[in-house]
A and B are shown apart, each in its own frame.
Chain A
Amino acid sequence: MSVEADLDAWTIAEAGRRLRARELSATELTRAALERIGARNAALNAFITVASDDALRAAAAADARLAAGTAAGPLDGIPVAVKDVIATACVRTTAASRILADFVPPYDATVTARLKAAGAIIVGKTNCDEFAMGSSNENSAYGSARNPWDLTRVPGGSSGGSAVAVAAGMALGSLGTDTGGSIRLPASYCGVVGMKPTYGAAAKYLRRRQQLGVHLEADHRLVGGAGAGTPIHGAHDAAPTRGGRRVCHSVAVSYARAVRAAVDTLGGLGARAGSASLPHTEYAVATYYVIATAEASSNLARYDGVRYGSRLAGDSLLDMYCRTRAAGFGPEVKRRIMLGTYALSAGYYDAYYLKAQKVRTLIRRDFARVFEQADVIVTPTAPTTAFRLGEKLADPLQMYLSDIFTISVNLAGLPGIVVPCGVDDAGLPIGLQIVGPPFGEEVVLRTARAYEAATEWHTRRPPRVGAAS
């Protein structure tokens, strides 16, 4: 006698409890997720590859463990989605790029192997910006994922599909990566929880500084292991100010209002709120795009048409490289390779790359100073709610500035979480960002948990789209 899977209401903890109580099987739960993907992916484009056969095989194995009472843990039998920049053995991994259109990894990324060892069922590979480079998901060679709250809007990037999959009930959790806000921004735009751990806290087999994290439906307590109901010690509102003047690009009125209300809520829970100054925040976007593009230019050198990926014929080896890369990479990736190559080239290294690394030190010091007095820093996640598809495509700099509140957190290597904290006048989700000191995941999760326990925003679900399921 089975209950029907409720992908909109269940958290990972709830689904796991029902699996272990044998109220339904992992196969039934996985089938429900796959059916939901089948019904909604045409409209949402959250998945580049759906791994139905592998998922059902893994679910059968999970059911065997659950029947034998040897479940691997809280993730055993839980359908999850994995961002398509993360290698999955024998399942196509494109990084949302044309150059890897047919790439089937011969191995699992460390995090994939750990997910599998924990019994999680990988239902598919989620859409994202090409090589995780973007803030809207529009830089995907496979078309942008759509925001489930408004299909004319972006889901945010780069881990857009990962956030959409969770928001639309296509998986109960997902993996993303966050190098400048790529988990947190889509979490804010799609109304789900997104967590980026301290740099180095999650295992990876990815390019340098790229960071793993999760999108969850109000369920981070389980994965993070933090306890519920523990009072927080104090929270400081650090909406960046400098000499009393707001230096960052203005935050939309309704967004700022929701974040202030969230700070009040935390105050009501016992947090002592104050304001703090992070004076170098206004330099974070410039710093990041020097460092990140320099790294990208060197990292993407491996795509040369020799060992894997597509190849275009050329008159010479050099010609083959140039044509292969020109055809295989999209506009934003080319732009970043060019910027990074320029910033690292002879005569410019000191002025750009070395300078950015020094400013990065100043940004780190800003945070260190605040964390001498505060347990967490609370900010808006973005200046606005989800913007319209195409709105910022022609102006890369405006796109980069969407990351203004998330990017300094990466430069400082800190843990951060985004939780839903309101809606704007159009009903689009607003996300509260909570940042902690290095390896301060526990206080970050505890704060988020306390906030969720006092509010209802995380229980909102987007309207159904696509065929009924």
Chain B
Amino acid sequence: MLDSPVVKITRDEIRHVALLARLALDPAEEEAMTATLDAILTYMEKLAELDTSAVEPTAHILDLPTPWRDDVVTNAPDADRLLANAPARDGDFFRVPKIIE
């Protein structure tokens, strides 16, 4: 949290976040990541200086309406083209490692 003391993020938290992010980090990366993120999060603590209790968040910058378009098919089905970038395919399907034993 922004108002917590010195250490912003621990090695264990880094491991947890890496799993959430689906990133395999080796021990050296874990160590470097802990130090760097700690420094960056400490810098981000600046934001806590500001009283924002009466401020609405900005989720999107423009108050533009979202225009509707006609619901028409614009892409012809072309499985070969779409599967051309697949790391592994099986017929007209993406092939993935077995999920259920």
Complex alpha-carbon distance, A352 and B47, angstroms: 8
Do B87 and A106 touch across chains, with their CB atoms under 8 A apart? no
Cβ of B7 under 8 Å from chain A: no
Interface of B is mostly: loop
Given contacts A306-B94, A311-B88, contact A342 B58 (CB under 8 A): no
Do B24 and A317 touch across chains, with their CB atoms under 8 A apart? no
Interface stretch, picked from A8-16, A65-73, A162-170, A353-361, is: A353-361
| Residue among A310, A318, A364, A400 with most chain B CB within 10 A | A318
| Residue among B44, B49, B84 with most chain A CB within 10 A | B44
Interface of A is mostly: helix
- For the complex with contacts A339-B41, A355-B2, 18 further pairs of A-B residues with Cβ separation under 8 Å are A102-B85, A104-B85, A106-B84, A199-B61, A200-B62, A283-B49, A304-B22, A317-B97, A318-B22, A322-B23, A338-B14, A338-B21, A339-B40, A341-B21, A342-B41, A360-B58, A362-B52, A396-B36
Count of chain B residues near A, Cβ 8 A: 52
A-B contact pairs, 10 of them (CB 8 A): A200-B61, A306-B94, A306-B96, A308-B85, A311-B87, A325-B22, A329-B23, A338-B33, A339-B37, A351-B48
Least CB distance, A19 to chain B, in whole angstroms: 32
Do B87 and A309 touch across chains, with their CB atoms under 8 A apart? yes
Determine the residue in chain A with the shortest Cβ distance to B2. Answer: A351
Interface residues of A (CB under 8 A from B): 102-104, 106-107, 198-200, 280, 282-283, 285-287, 289-290, 297, 301, 304-311, 313-314, 316-323, 325-326, 329, 334-335, 337-339, 341-342, 345, 347-348, 351-352, 354-362, 364, 396-397, 400, 411-413, 438
Given contacts A306-B96, A338-B14, A396-B36, contact A357 B20 (CB under 8 A): no
Cβ of B68 under 8 Å from chain A: no
Do B39 and A106 touch across chains, with their CB atoms under 8 A apart? no
Partner of B58 from the list A104, A106, A337, A364 (CB cut-off 8 Å) is A364
Partner of A337 from the list B21, B46, B62 (CB cut-off 8 Å) is B21
Complex alpha-carbon distance, A308 and B58, angstroms: 33
Given contacts A311-B88, A317-B96, A358-B52, contact A345 B20 (CB under 8 A): yes
Residue numbers in A under 8 Å from B48 (CB-CB):
351, 355
Do B44 and A286 touch across chains, with their CB atoms under 8 A apart? yes
